[in-house]
Each structure stands twice: as C-alpha cells, then as structure tokens.
Amino acid sequence: MTSSSPDTLSTDITAAQVQATLVQRPVRHLIGGQLVNSAQTFSVIHPGTGAVCAPCVEATRADLDHAVASARAAQPAWGATPPAERRAALLQLAAVIRTHQDELTGLITLEQGKPLATARMEVGRAAMLVEQFVQMEIAPESLRDDATGRVEVHYRPLGVVGAITPWNMPLVLSVPKIAHALYAGNTVVLKPSPYTPLAILRLAEYARTLFPAGVLNVLAGGNALGQWISEHPGIDKISFTGSIATGRRVMASAAGNLKRLTLELGGNDPAIVLPDASIDTIAQALFDASFVNCGQVCMAIKRLYVHASLYEQACERLAQIARAVKVGDPFAPGTQMGPVQNRAQFDIVQSILADTWQQPGARVLAGGHALPGDGYFVEPTVVAGLAEGTRLVDEEPFGPVLPVIAYTDIDDAIARANRSPYGLGASVWGGDAVRASELALQLHAGTVWVNRHMGADPFAPFGGARQSGIGRQYGMAGLKGYMEGVTLFLPPRR
C-alpha cells in the first residue's frame, strides 16, 4: 500500500490489501529502540466480519521490564534535552503520521471498524494535535516579584509515563499521551487496547528513529499487561483512557508507589434542548454528536432532553436522519456508519436494546435491531418515551442508540441531567445563547458546550467531573499533569 499526500486518500483501500501488508510486515513491539517479536501472539478481529484479520505480538512481563528499564535509562538525557529540541522531534512525528496517512487509515478501519473517511479524519487529527500541543511554552511561572522576594514555579518531568489507551479511537487517544509526555521530558511505555493495537504499533515502527532509544516504547497485550504497567514500581505516572470500572482498578494498582494519575473515564453526556431552539437548524448536529463513530465516543451525547413543545418534532427529525444512514462494510464507498467495535460491546448494546423493547411506553422510532449477517452491526436507533430508571437512560450504551427524553420545566431537566455518577460532558441548545450559557454552568460536567456538543480544543483542558475522571488532558493543565511543579523562593532583586 502506498502512502499519499496529506490532502489525498486512495479510494481503493481494501481489507485484503491491508491484511496483505500485515502478512508481509507483521507488527512488533518497540522496546529500547528495537522492534521486538514475542513468542506469544493474540488475534485481532475485524469487526466488519467478526473474523480474525491479523495476529499481534503479545508482551510478557519480561518484555515490560525491559521496556521500563530502557525508558528509565533514557529519561535523564531526554529530560535534559531543551524543549525546543523535543518539540522538533515531535513535529517529525506529526510529519510521519501524515506521510503514512493511507496505511494508518487502512489499519484503523480494519481493526476498529470505522469507515475509511472517518479513519482518515482520525489520522489527520492525531497529527494536528501533536503540532498544536508543542506550541505551548514550558517555562517557569512567576508568582511574586517584589521587595519581599521572588516566588517562582519551575516544572520538571515526572520520569516514566505508562499510557494505556482504548479501542474507540486508537490513534487519536494514543498520540496525545505520547506528545504530552515526551514534550514534558518524560519517557513513555504505551499499551494500546488489544482490540486495536495495529495502527499504533505500525506508527511506533516508523517513529523508531525519531527519538533516542528507550524514549518511546510501545507494547501490545491484554488486561494482564495493563495490570503490570499500573503496578510497576519503575513507572511514575499512569495516563489512562477507558471505562470507569477499569479506571478504578488502575487507580488501585497504581497506589503501590503513589503514581501520579490522569484518568479519562466514561460519560453519559446529557444535552438539553431549550424551547426557543430551532429543531430544523440543530437536528443534524444533535444526531452527529450522538452517533459519531457508531456512538462509541466518551463525550458523545448519550441522553437528549427536549422541551415538550419541541419533543415530537425532534423525535421525528432524528428518526428520519437515522433511517437514512448507510450502515455497512467500512471499506465500502459511501458507508456512513460501521460496526460496533467488538463482540463484548455488541452484546452490551444488544442487551440494552432488548431491555428497551420491554419498557412500558418506549417507542423505537428508528432502528432497534442488529443487522443480519456477519460483523457487529447495529441499526442507528432513536427511542422516545423513556425516562430515568431505565438502562438506556442510566447507563452508557457506547453504541448507536439514543434516548430522547421529554421535559417541561428547565430546573427539573437540569436536575435530571445531573442525576448521574458521570460528569464528562454536557451541552445546552437554544436560540438565546446568553440564557443557554447561564444554564450550562449549572450542569455538573468537566466540559459544557453551548449550541454544539463534542470537540476538544488542543489548548483547552479536557477531563471529567465526579466518576468520569481525574485530572485533565490538553492545554497547559494537561501538560502540567505530566510534570512536577517545584516552588522556588528567591531573595528580592537588587
């Protein structure tokens, strides 16, 4: 498979072509600057067919120990490298991502199941995030400078960062952790999800010569490897993105040496549509923010509260859009939505749908079923007539299913939106942006949007409230999470 320029994408990428490349050049771990095989392998499944698409190397505990030792050995020199030089190396990483855009796009579609066009956007965004992150300046902060003396905060790297990433956006959720950690002067040991290890392992292969040996290490494996990373005494910080349940286990395992933590966990994001909103204007945006990536985005809309005066109109318009979506082979031209990524998540979505069909008053306006045939395909589903106390409203389905919930009193809607252990994102939609902004500040979430939902700014902190996470990613707050602040008291200037 040949690579194209950043502005073009081959239209004839096929699953067979991507698999042939993997046969010719199997993926390997990157440990200590070397590409490393393992005696053990596990199977990667293409969710469009449910069949094995490639084997992947599986790291042992000895492999992890080797990677951590390499990272620790490389960190002092890398941490002492001027930030401008670290920036230059990371900009080369962004260039490598763009150079191999077609290959990475095909790998993401094969292992994750998103359509080629969506995978291409993920690759492009990963490169863009690196380019933006390194524009931030790492410099001391002056807190006081007067006749009594000076107080400054200086920032230094933490050491070795263990990064554990999920399967819904394998590249765009891995690359920012690498960029933040390395730009701050740390070294990295990264574990991608065992469902989607291929693209990030291939990127590691291409990035091998960009950094000194041991600065970047990437190992594939399952839950055992994640546990070993979390508890490893040679790792100083864990940056984890995934479910709340796994986040709790990571936090417990990391307690052994009081590792620093950044946890971006699940969300059950509410969106509230006010009575002065225009459904015709916002329906497509609401749908896109709910069903993007087959609904498998932590910050997607999961609960849509619509004022009773607009309720039926909103339900019908969203159902119309859902019924028109082309679901199918993610490699096929024109496919708009691919499969749920893995069998376990597919079964969860199926279970929630089965429960929904049994709920009194539930109206399935579009979808509601899995598609026949191979693969983990579910129809885009819009459900009316539900309220809190049902699985679809209370849980995070992480699939293409949206409950639309009626309300009459805005204070009640806000209280219901806040009645959740989650707190990742939320949004308010209305004609009066000032009023919508006032209401937005009453929602208990780490990020709240007005007249939009989703989209993280590289320069703005992103993270969850309550059980949706600890710490922030992106922005200076995210970057500082990968550094230790040292408060320095100095005498006054002469």
- In b/e form, how buried is each residue of 353-369, taking b as 16+ CB within 10 angstroms? beebeebeebebbbbbe
- In b/e form, how buried is each residue of 419-457, taking b as 16+ CB within 10 angstroms? ebebbbbbbbbbeeeeebeebbebbbbbbbbbbebbebe
Q: Is the pLDDT of residue 291 over 80?
A: yes
Is the separation of the CB atoms in 472 and 482 below 8 Å?
Answer: no
Q: Is the pLDDT of residue 4 over 50?
A: no
Phi-psi region for residue 149, left (φ > 0), alpha (ψ -120 to 50) or beta? Answer: left
Predicted model pTM: 0.95
* 438: annotated active-site residue: no
Q: Is the pLDDT of residue 287 over 60?
A: yes
pLDDT in tens, 87-115: 999 999 999 999 999 999 999 999 999 99
Is the separation of the CB atoms in 313 and 406 below 8 Å?
Answer: no
Is the separation of the CB atoms in 422 and 266 below 8 Å?
Answer: yes
pLDDT in tens, 304-359: 999 999 999 999 999 999 999 999 999 999 999 999 999 999 999 999 999 999 99
The span from the CA of 480 to the CA of 157, in Å, is: 9
Nearest to 188 by CA among 332, 33, 297, 334: 33
pLDDT in tens, 420-458: 999 999 999 999 999 999 999 999 999 999 999 998 899
The H-assigned helical ranges of 233-310 are 244-253, 279-291
The span from the CA of 274 to the CA of 319, in Å, is: 19
* 294: annotated active-site residue: no
Instruction: Identify the pLDDT of residue 12.
Output: 78
The span from the CA of 472 to the CA of 465, in Å, is: 10
- Rounded mean pLDDT of 367-392? 97
Nearest to 193 by CA among 208, 216, 179, 172: 172
Residue of 298, 315, 379, 396 marked active site: 298
Residue of 122, 264, 379, 396 marked active site: 264
Q: Is the pLDDT of residue 6 over 80?
A: no
Q: Is the pLDDT of residue 231 over 80?
A: yes
Neighbours of 370 (CB within 10 A): 17
Instruction: Identify the pLDDT of residue 1.
Output: 35
* Domains recognised in the chain with CATH numbers: 15-265+468-486 (3.40.605.10), 269-461 (3.40.309.10)
Nearest to 192 by CA among 152, 244, 143, 229: 229
Task: Please give the structure tokens belonging to residue 469.
Answer: 């996470």
The mean of the pLDDT values for the chain is 96
- Rounded mean pLDDT of 69-81? 98
Q: Is the pLDDT of residue 8 over 70?
A: no
What percentage of the chain has pLDDT greater than the value 70?
98
User: In terms of DSSP bridges, do strands 363-366 and 260-264 run parallel, antiparallel, or are they unpaired?
Assistant: unpaired
The span from the CA of 303 to the CA of 269, in Å, is: 6
User: In terms of DSSP bridges, do strands 237-241 and 160-164 run parallel, antiparallel, or are they unpaired?
Assistant: parallel
Instruction: Identify the pLDDT of residue 11.
Output: 56
The span from the CA of 476 to the CA of 350, in Å, is: 40
Residue 11, classified by CB atoms within 10 Å of its CB into exposed (0-12), middle (13-18) or buried (19+), is exposed
Place of tokens 């896109």: 288
The span from the CA of 86 to the CA of 482, in Å, is: 14
Instruction: Identify the pLDDT of residue 494.
Output: 83
The span from the CA of 424 to the CA of 447, in Å, is: 6
Confidence class of residue 18 from pLDDT cuts 50, 70 and 90? Answer: very high
* CA contacts within 13 A on the Cβ side of 475: 11
